[in-house]
Structure 1
């Protein structure tokens, strides 16, 4: 979360993909913000609240009542002794935690992925190839190929020795 920067969204529509979905296309009279009549610009520009109030915006996570808001709060009664009344209602996004709600008209800018050695080639390769037939389970079958305990074949001579 600390590496992700929140940058102000200068577009006409806010980005609410994490909050809900629009079941219908929003009709905009213009796609420009500058050099157009004021009424056209105000009709096309939406805020977070105006998008949430649209009849065809369906949120994913909507609290049912005040109990859901209190349960999702960051207040913990076992650690805080004398908390204020507003501490019961403070939500995680108020403290800066990443949740499904968006408080400001911003979008997240992720840092560029650092590629080691400057190219995407991997160093190394397959270190171990496990065979599915070498797995010893609790209930092994009668046809499993295992040597008797204590017997082994020597790589040099080829004879079977008992140790």
Structure 2
């Protein structure tokens, strides 16, 4: 299992996916997950942008990238949800007491944390529902039933439900 550090906040783990990836490919995965473009990652690695694009054609590289993106997303979601209680406490404190010098900033930060945390919860719930629908389609026996439920799932994906669209 390979551990990758990202900006001192996250330690990401890639299991069997790293087999066959070079050190440069692992670094490219980390840079791309951190938000860099192909050109920026290539510049940081000292390779051409075309090389980074070739990495993207490698199934193991794409799998490692997908695993790390999911880990980053999950960690960020967990951090937001973990801070919901603190955000509510800040809002209650500001509501009950006259705002001090930084009250507006604290209130804004607390509100944003709650907004993002609720969006994450809603997205997780929608993904769970979509997964259950997909499992139900897989369990169906007749092609006609599969096609009609499959069309519903395709429509849901078009509207942004589900993470593996």
Pair member with larger Rg: 1
- With normalisation by structure 2, the TM-score equals 0.25
**Structure (1 or 2) with the greater helix fraction:** 2
**Structure (1 or 2) with the greater strand fraction:** 1
- With normalisation by structure 1, the TM-score equals 0.25
Larger RCO, structure (CA 8 Å, separation 6 or more): 1
